[in-house]
Structure 1
Amino acid sequence: MTDDITQRLSACYTGVIHDVMRAMGLKDFTLPPELRPNFPERTLAGPAFTIDGRVDPNADPHETLLAWTGLLSKAKPGHIWVSQPNDRVVAHMGELSAETLKNKGVLGCIADGYVRDTNFLLAMEFQTWSRGHTPRDIVGYWLPRAFEVDIRIGDVVIAPGDYMIGDRDGLIRVPQARVEEIIGAAETAIATENKVRTAILAGVDPQEAYIRYGKF
């Protein structure tokens, strides 16, 4: 389940989105490069379903699993699960959770922390961005604090419904209020880049191509 904006954004790439947003004077929209995808060849794009979490080493194991499964049930189809767990110890996505989210129509996961069951995530082709992997789980250790709230990953504040785009180069947050304007400018820039590419391949001097099209 994807909307038109998601489909159009998916056809773009992070380099051109970055350049468009920079030219608009926007700042703090590129997520930390340490976040990497399990399918780098695939673009992930869509609106964010945001999660904020907290560590509680004294949490009751049953309570943590009740809270986690309850959170999974709130995830929105056609969205990306975007989590700030405020933790770099345990995994914040795994096989059964990913199966649940994929079955609900969630497009993928971005976790500013670790994940696990990586072979299963690969087998089910669930696009997952993370800082790494660990077999440790959340049981008796971590609880969700809130969902559909503003979260911060690195220098980037992500509001619920903001759009995310990620490809082999990295991840970018696109503000919901300006997403159509940004996509439109990116589509125009891509068309211009195609003209520059054609000129370069035809032997046009790169500086001449830049002056001719205003893009390089």
Structure 2
Amino acid sequence: MSRAEVSLAERLEACHSSVVHDVMKDMGLRIRVLPREILGLEPWMRVAGPVFTVRGRPDPTLDKHTSLYEWAGLLSKSPSGHVVVCQPQDDVRALFGGLSAEALKIKGVRGYIVDGGCRDIQAIVDQRFPVFARYGTPVDIVCAWRAEAFGEPVAIGGQMVAPDDMVIADRDGIILIDGPAAADVIAAAEAKMATEGEMVKAIRAGQDPQEAYMRYRVF
């Protein structure tokens, strides 16, 4: 990643998904929110950055060595500074675990979002590596699942996730931003958050809510 891309990712991570949604709506941009069932393993988890997409599928013909070797390959391909977004096409197995989190964290990957399951949840939480998933399960991918595409568009909850997208995920949810619009969206979100900060000060100082709104035009 370039320094500019790193800066955008860090700035986006300092924003709130709800504010990003609001400014995108005001800007007339398309809104793509991933399913609300995909949640952070802990409420404090948040992540933002450019996406690296993975698509896979169940495959019961795999032997143990092949499935684990290919999974290690998925981790190897995951680029530093990105958020991995995985469509496993599987609602049985865990598509992430504690050792995988450690490997990606060491590589500098920013986080992991999966339209499926996760395991070793406490180990991941202890590492403070942000993971968003639908459910927890002890069932692993050994002899049962393989990745089949990297860096290609994937569908999650009726939304297409493209390789040049940026994503922000926090306690409110997960929203995607078209890559070319990211810089403008982030700047607008930062400006709105600054104005909302002034609005908060006015409310706490006892100003009437409608009067405060007419002054700052946010709520």
Residue 80 (1) aligns with residue 83 (2): yes
Which residue of structure 1 aligns with residue 176 of structure 2?
Answer: 173
Flag structure 2 segments of 5+ consecutive residues without an equivalent.
none
Which residue of structure 2 aligns with residue 138 of structure 1?
Answer: 141
Letter in 2 for 1:58: T
Which residue of structure 2 aligns with residue 195 of structure 1?
Answer: 198
Q: Is the CA contact 1:14–1:172 (under 8 Å) kept in the aligned structure 2?
A: yes
The alignment yields a C-alpha RMSD, in angstroms, of: 1.6
Q: Report the CA distance between 1:101 and its aligned residue.
A: 1.0
Q: Report the CA distance between 1:161 and its aligned residue.
A: 3.4
Q: Structure 1 vs Structure 2: percent identity of aligned residues?
A: 46
Determine which of 10, 13, 34 is the counterpart of 1:10: 13
Determine which of 205, 208, 217 is the counterpart of 1:205: 208
Letter in 2 for 1:79: H
Q: How does 1:50-89 map to 2 (within 5 A)?
A: 50-89=53-92
Q: Report the CA distance between 1:210 and its aligned residue.
A: 1.7
Q: Is the CA contact 1:61–1:140 (under 8 Å) kept in the aligned structure 2?
A: yes
Which residue of structure 2 aligns with residue 121 of structure 1?
Answer: 124
Residue 32 of structure 2 aligns to a residue whose secondary structure is coil
Q: TM-score, normalised by structure 2?
A: 0.92
- Pairs aligned (count): 216
Question: Which region of structure 1 is more displaced relative to structure 2, 24-33 or 86-95?
Answer: 24-33
Determine which of 100, 103, 115 is the counterpart of 1:100: 103
Which residue of structure 2 aligns with residue 111 of structure 1?
Answer: 114
| Separation (CA, whole Å) in 2 of partners of 1:151 and 1:20 | 25
Which residue of structure 2 aligns with residue 152 of structure 1?
Answer: 155
Determine which of 42, 51, 54 is the counterpart of 2:45: 42
Q: Is the CA contact 1:36–1:170 (under 8 Å) kept in the aligned structure 2?
A: yes
| Separation (CA, whole Å) in 1 of partners of 2:25 and 2:123 | 38
Per-residue CA distance 1:107-126 (angstroms, 9 max, x = gap): 11111100111121122221
Q: Report the CA distance between 1:209 and its aligned residue.
A: 1.8
Q: Where does structure 1 differ by over 3 angstroms across 4 or more consecutive aligned residues? A: none
Per-residue CA distance 1:123-173 (angstroms, 9 max, x = gap): 222111101111111111111010111112113221113211111111111
Q: TM-score, normalised by structure 1?
A: 0.94
